[in-house]
Amino acid sequence: MKGRRPRTPKRAGAMATETVLRTLQESARTKMEISHDEAEKVVRAADMITAAFRAGKKVLIFGNGGSAADAQHIAAEFIGKFAKERDALPAIALNVNTSVITSISNDINYERVFARQIEALASSGDVVVAISTSGRSPSVLEGLKAARAKGASTIGLTGIAGEPMRKCSDICITAPSLKTPRIQEVHITLGHIICELVENELFG
């Protein structure tokens, strides 16, 4: 543009490096701002999942977009392993079966995409983990309502604005941010911590 000095490669590289460092610092600060109360909820969530596994029950996990990726990531940690060589733990990510997802979305309604699966798969004593950065996703909220109707315990992961999810969850853990990327970064860290606590309790 006229009047603007073009960036040299060296200057552009320095600015990009500053962006990397600034973003990493913001992400770290967000994690460090987790309150003592929220940390206690993480422990309670891990205890809930541990009790379900001990009783021969399963964990159902779901979310949309990046939260869907987090759901299948956490399920993989339970089924495969987190840090210990041990028995597999029963966990299902509800967002990985494309035929089920597309048929429910096409033939019924996308808002029912998780609720319908929970109606089919959940039973009393199971734990349902719902992930939503906004806490307002209709499909996620419908899934939580269906879980309660089936007698499953519910855990929510959301951000500051997620009041609707807090009303639908037995335990709702809140990332202290309004920014979607920062919330997602907190969620996967907390997911790892829950996996570690569960694994240590069951196999430590």
Instruction: Tell me the torsion sign for CA atoms 62, 176, 196, 155.
Output: negative
Domain membership of residue 15 (yes or no) is no
Domain membership of residue 124 (yes or no) is yes
**Domain that includes residue 59, residue range:** 34-203
Contact 9, 16 (CB under 8 A): no
Domain membership of residue 41 (yes or no) is yes
Task: Give the model's pLDDT for residue 7.
Answer: 62
Domain membership of residue 13 (yes or no) is no
Q: Measured between alpha carbons, how far is 124 from 141 in angstroms, rounded to an integer?
A: 19
Task: Give the model's pLDDT for residue 20.
Answer: 96
Q: Measured between alpha carbons, how far is 185 from 69 in angstroms, rounded to an integer?
A: 12
Task: Give the model's pLDDT for residue 14.
Answer: 85
The CA–CA distances, whole Å, from 35 to 26, 29, 165 equal: 16, 12, 19
Task: Give the model's pLDDT for residue 5.
Answer: 62
pLDDT tens-digit series, residues 156-201 = 999 999 999 999 999 999 999 999 999 999 999 999 999 999 999 9
Report the DSSP pairing between strands 127-131 and 59-63.
parallel
Domain membership of residue 29 (yes or no) is no
Task: Give the model's pLDDT for residue 10.
Answer: 74
Domain membership of residue 71 (yes or no) is yes
Which segments of the chain have a pLDDT < 70? 1-8
pTM of the entire structure?
Answer: 0.93
Q: Measured between alpha carbons, how far is 201 from 95 in angstroms, rounded to an integer?
A: 28
Domain membership of residue 17 (yes or no) is no
Contact 157, 187 (CB under 8 A): yes
Task: Give the model's pLDDT for residue 186.
Answer: 98
Count of other CB atoms within 10 angstroms of residue 153: 22
Q: What is the CA radius of gyration of the chain?
A: 19
Task: Give the model's pLDDT for residue 9.
Answer: 73
Tokens 């996620």, located at residue: 140
How many domains, in total, are found in the chain? Answer: 1
CATH code of the domain covering residue 174: 3.40.50.10490
Domain membership of residue 8 (yes or no) is no
Task: Give the model's pLDDT for residue 54.
Answer: 98
